[in-house]
Amino acid sequence: MYRTTILTLIAIFSYSFAQAQLFQKIKKEVEKELPISNTSELTQDDAAMGLKEALTIGIKKGVETVSKPDGYFKDPIIKILMPDEAKAVESKLRAIGQDKLVDDAIEAMNRAAEDAASGALDLFVTAIKNLTIEDALAILGGEEDAATQYLDRQTRNPLTEKFQPVIKSSLDKVNATKHWNAVFTAYNKIPFIKKVNPDLEAFVTEKAIDGLFVQIAKEEKEIRENPAARVTDILQKVFGN
């Protein structure tokens, strides 16, 4: 394991600076000095393959987790609450005994996110296929959520564009739009207040995607840190350093 770790770090350093010949020379010298290990050397192709596999596994588990009932609603980290600009709305309505109205709207937003999340899986496939060796090496030597950050950069905009119609359909399906409109209709009838009505679809879409990436980051961290989570040979080889 020690030998593989050193060689991997050398590969990342050398490739990042486009010094392939220097990498080969240094690698040969290190191989002379390091003890022989039963673990085979990690190649750049291994790194790319392992990262793609890790991302695929993490995404599948992440999507499966959040798309289950209460996947968002019962998770305190990703639960969708009223937007900041609506905090005054929530406070006012709760103060006049309209707790159920607000609670129904919050639950409906989370149910919409859970319903829509299952359709997100295939939207990540292109980004995974486009993972280059440079990306793989940078991710492998990066932070514990480096792969998730890569996915976020590559998919956030197209994911938002494609996800919003799904969210809209899900909002209607679980009556979230009805509950949302009831909340703001009730609030806007209160005398002497500034009328408020944030964009429900945009808000829930953003929060649903945020929650997805939070869950994927958890799965990535698990693969990096927990040997039991490396369920294939290539994952054990890439992350077993």
- Per-residue pLDDT at 210: 93
CB of 71 closer than 8 Å to CB of 96: no
pLDDT band at 80, cuts 50/70/90? Answer: very high
Measured at the CA of 94, the angle between CA 89 and CA 98, to 5 degrees, comes to: 100
pLDDT band at 28, cuts 50/70/90? Answer: very low
Measure the CA–CA gap between 10 and 33, rounded to whole angstroms: 14
Measure the CA–CA gap between 149 and 154, rounded to whole angstroms: 9
Measure the CA–CA gap between 211 and 54, rounded to whole angstroms: 19
Structure-token pair, residue 220: 């990535």
- Per-residue pLDDT at 162: 78
- Phi, psi (rounded to 5 degrees) for 96: -105, 20
Q: What is the pLDDT of residues 180-220, one digit of tens each?
A: 888 888 888 888 787 777 788 889 999 999 998 999 888 88
Rg over alpha carbons for the chain, rounded to the nearest Å, is: 23
The mean-pLDDT minimum among 71-85, 119-133, 202-216, 222-236 falls in: 222-236
pLDDT band at 27, cuts 50/70/90? Answer: very low
Asked whether residue 127 carries a pLDDT value surpassing 90, the answer given is no
- Per-residue pLDDT at 229: 61
Structure-token pair, residue 16: 């990042």
Asked whether residue 123 carries a pLDDT value surpassing 70, the answer given is yes
Half-sphere exposure of 201 (CA within 13 A, CB side): 12
pLDDT band at 72, cuts 50/70/90? Answer: very high
- Per-residue pLDDT at 37: 37
Which of 96, 108, 209 is closest to 151 using CA atoms? Answer: 209
- Per-residue pLDDT at 158: 80
CB of 54 closer than 8 Å to CB of 220: yes
Measure the CA–CA gap between 155 and 124, rounded to whole angstroms: 7
CB of 210 closer than 8 Å to CB of 219: no
Q: What is the pLDDT of residues 132-160, one digit of tens each?
A: 878 877 887 888 888 889 888 888 888 78
- pTM for this entry: 0.70
Structure-token pair, residue 215: 């869950």
Report the interhelical angle of 99-117 vs 200-225 (nearest 10°).
Answer: 60
Measure the CA–CA gap between 181 and 163, rounded to whole angstroms: 22
Tokens 């009328």 belong to residue: 195
Measure the CA–CA gap between 149 and 177, rounded to whole angstroms: 32
- Per-residue pLDDT at 83: 86
